Amino acid sequence: MALLAGGCTSDGAPPAAPPSSGPPPDFRPGAEGIGDPYFPKYGNGGYDVGGYDLKLRYDPKSGQLRGSATVTATATQDLSRFNLDLAHLVAGKVTVDGRAARATADGNELVITPAAGITRGTAFTAVIEYSGRPEALRNEELGVGGWLRTDDGAFALGEPESASTWFPVNDHPADKATFALAMTVPAGVEAISNGVPGERTTDAGWTTWTWTEKAPMASYLATVAIGQYRVSTSTHAGKPMVIAIPESLPADGPAARSMARTGEVADFLATRFGPYPFDAYGGIVLDDDRVGYALETQSRPVYGNTFFRSGTQTTVVAHELAHQWFGDSVALERWKDIWLNEGFASYAEWLWQEHEGATTAEQNFARRYASFDWSEPPGDPGPEGIFSQSVYQRGAMTVHALRKTIGDEAFFRLLKSWPAEQRNGNVTTTEFIAAAEKESGKDLDSLFQAWLFGTTQPPRP
Ligand code: TRP
Ligand code: ZN
């Protein structure tokens, strides 16, 4: 399907009369990609999702997932049909605003044709019943993303995409939405996800776990972990804190002891970045050799146990919690600007290490500045380079160079004003540079040009 190709394909009843002023609606298919230059097929065009409400059942024995997704959205063009991303799963009955809609699979896209066209600006609700055996997406450069089955359950996570392996979604961070999950699993199995825990009910040997994330969330930040976990729920700073440790790991081992410092690390970061942006805290540890990473899943980061093999470790906790401000609450509009996530999360590691009385930020900077491959610019790393050393380390060096250039006062003001002003939003590098210039009163063009886009060592700030 070509971008914006084709004309009016609405069938069935005529659409509602257009508003008395303006031209009549011109129904066209929504684009099959949201328009990210790095990943042209990610996400979809023509609508904006407000919320996902998932009611799912997972059977660890068969690996079968089934249920329904209620997607509330608003048309951003006159829509004859639209796509949702859905990989390896099969849609059954689909309705739009209560009326049966046609749904066809086209690779990892679900193409939904409502009974009538949807005019621009109109809110609509799509309900998709679906089922299947979820599978991960494999990207040659960026690794595995999405649903992975385990001996006792499954988990879903991955960046830059993963959500489409377990629910129909506009799978791109530019379309953030609220998220509610009711996950039914056999009694005795835990199901942990994002946000605030709700009711847990058991019926006929199946337990339903409910989770609500009411702050808009980028789709790759949705996660679920199903299996044998010790789930501890407490309150931190007046908000629920949910920590899940696999039963295969000791209850008081390094993973559990690292997670136990979540509140303390979040509170430290709040002194630098302003108030914690979400309604819940927590963390999920995965004891699975396929997970050699951590991910900043919203309000509840996921950590591979590999981080804790040699003892308690809070640097990674500082990194993932920093993302709650930089990456989650303030999210990317386009993947090209990923240094805004990783540069700041890496810089937060330096701030935390300095706070802990270990390496100072200046030492962390100097060590890297002395020896680095400057050939890859972090401001345009290419789709295969979005998780490169340049993005993380030179990204953090860029933050430090900014600090040295504008001084601590303006710098730490900016670290709070930016997340406050852009809270729950989507941003670009250009907007960040403008904010830094406004906060400091300085022209920072040449600084950012050298640090983000140059291919040689920038001058020492
Ligand atoms: N964004 C993650 C971090 O910095 C790292 C990451 C990159 C990742 N790609 C991933 C995690 C894929 C999980 C899956 O913490
Ligand atoms: Zn990160």
Test site for ligand 1: of 291, 295, 346, most ligand atoms within 8 A of the Cβ: 295
37 preceded by a cis bond (ω within 30 of 0): no
pLDDT score for 384: 96
The pLDDT assigned to 3 comes to 30
Assign domain 331-453 to a CATH class: mainly alpha
In angstroms, rounded to a whole number, what is the distance separating the alpha carbons of residues 193 and 133? Answer: 19
> 160 CA to middle of ligand 2, Å?
12
DSSP string, 256-308: HHHHTTHHHHHHHHHHHH-S--SS-EEEEEE--TT--SEE--TTS-EEEGGGG
- Counting ligand 1 atoms within 8 A of each CB, the residue from 137, 141, 159, 313 with the most, and so the one to mutate, is 159
Instruction: Determine the Cα–Cα distance for residues 90 and 105; give it in Å rounded to an integer.
Output: 8
Per the document, the length of the chain is 461
Provide the H-helix boundaries in 42-81.
none
| Rounded Cα–Cα distance for residues 430 and 158 (Å) | 27
Contacts of 257 (CB under 8 A, 6+ apart): 312
User: CATH says 1-222 is which class?
Assistant: mainly beta
Radius of gyration for the chain, computed over Cα atoms and rounded to the nearest angstrom:
23
Residues with a beta carbon under 5 angstroms from ion ligand 2: 342, 345
Q: What CA–CA distance (Å, rounded) separates 272 from 413?
A: 9
Q: What is the mean pLDDT of each run of 10 residues along the chain (461 residues)?
A: 33 49 91 96 98 98 98 98 98 98 97 98 98 94 92 97 98 98 98 98 98 98 98 98 98 98 98 98 97 97 97 98 99 98 99 98 98 98 98 98 98 98 98 98 98 97 91
CATH of 228-323, one of 3.40.50.300, 2.170.120.12, 1.10.390.10, 3.40.50.720: 1.10.390.10
pLDDT at 16: 52
Dihedral sign computed on CA atoms, order 91, 96, 102, 105: negative
**Segments of the chain assigned to CATH 1.10.390.10:** 228-323, 331-453
Contacts of 238 (CB under 8 A, 6+ apart): none
- The bridge status of strand 99-100 relative to strand 47-59 is unpaired
- CA quadruple 157, 384, 447, 426: dihedral positive or negative? negative
Sequence-ordered list of residues with C-beta below 8 angstroms from that of 250, at least 6 positions apart, any chain: 256
Smallest CA-to-CA distance from 391 within 400, 401, 380 is with 380
Nearest ligand for residue 296 CA: 1
> Which residue's CA is the closest to the ligand 1 atom numbered 15?
295
Ligand nearest to the CA of 345: 2
